[in-house]
Amino acid sequence: MRFSTTFATLAALCSIVAAVPTAPVARDCSAEVSEFNRVRREARGLSKRSFYSSMLNTTCLLSPETPLVNYAEPPLLSNIVQSQAGVELIMDVGVMDITTCKALTNTMVELWGPNAVGEYGSFLRGATATGSNGIAEFTTIFPGFTSGAANHLGVIVHAGTSESGTVAHVGQLFFTDQWTNVVSTYENYAQNTNSRMMNAQDPSFAAASKNGYNSIIDIEDINDDWPEGVIGYITVGVNPALSAL
């Protein structure tokens, strides 16, 4: 009888433990992410022109959350230049499911940023879904810096194909201080009167760069001539089962 009672108690405890959700196990997705990055780079046929010697975020990491700022619901657009003058930026946002190490397809991504003189408006905002390669591609401009923040783009990743779906990630994507220095001297960017904040001074940059994640956009210039345009790459790691809002 005592054995039966003990067994029943143990079984009940096991049922309770089994019902408690467990945290995702950390995964080494370096091989999958490296291949993901190789394919999307070779599709461009471009050589490396970044301040960094290799692609960033070659391990599968959960991208840290940052405050949602300067947000307005965007239209369904991938070309979001909307007559704003500036250095063209083709922004390549790869979305990775950190629980499977696989690229997330048909996943809605929103992107927004300021214009060349650091002003936000109804322009330079858009949303598009990732393709079969897990990449959402936007055509925008390199943003001008704003007062009170390091130079960045805002990003939201949903868990599905709709803007009204669950938000899996809210983040900020940053540029090296060097790239902002260079572009800020060019044409209408030089008319920017905002106070400049470097990455190291911005708490949001620190928040976006926690736990080994690198929130810096990897930049290449087109035809080795950045005024002709630049291409930005970044991989955003999300857990689609979690809600960021």
Tens of pLDDT along 151-200?
999 999 999 999 998 999 999 999 999 999 999 999 999 999 999 999 99
CATH T-level assignment (fold) for domain 48-238: Protocatechuate 3,4-Dioxygenase, subunit A (2.60.130)
Amino acid letter, residue 17 = V
Residue 63's φ and ψ, nearest 5 degrees, are -70, 130
CB under 8 Å to 50, separation ≥6 — which residues? 218, 219, 220
Most confident by average pLDDT, 97-101, 176-180, 217-221 = 176-180
Are 114 and 120 contacting, i.e. CB atoms less than 8 angstroms apart? yes
Number of other residues whose CB lies within 10 A of the CB of residue 192: 19
Q: Average pLDDT over the chain, rounded to whole?
A: 82
Q: Against a cut of 0.85, is the pTM above it? A: no
Residue ranges covered by each domain of the chain: 48-238
Cα gap 177→86, rounded to integer Å: 18
Residue 21 has pLDDT above 70, yes or no: no
- Report pLDDT for 226: 86
Nearest to 153 by CA among 48, 231, 70, 224: 70
Amino acid letter, residue 14 = C
- Report pLDDT for 166: 94
The average pLDDT across 11-26 equals 38
DSSP SS3 for 167: strand
Q: What DSSP designation does 70 have?
A: S
Strand pairing report for 125-129 and 135-141? unpaired
- Report pLDDT for 244: 86
Phi/psi-derived region of residue 111, left when phi > 0, alpha when psi is between -120 and 50, beta in every other case: beta
Strand pairing report for 230-238 and 88-97? parallel
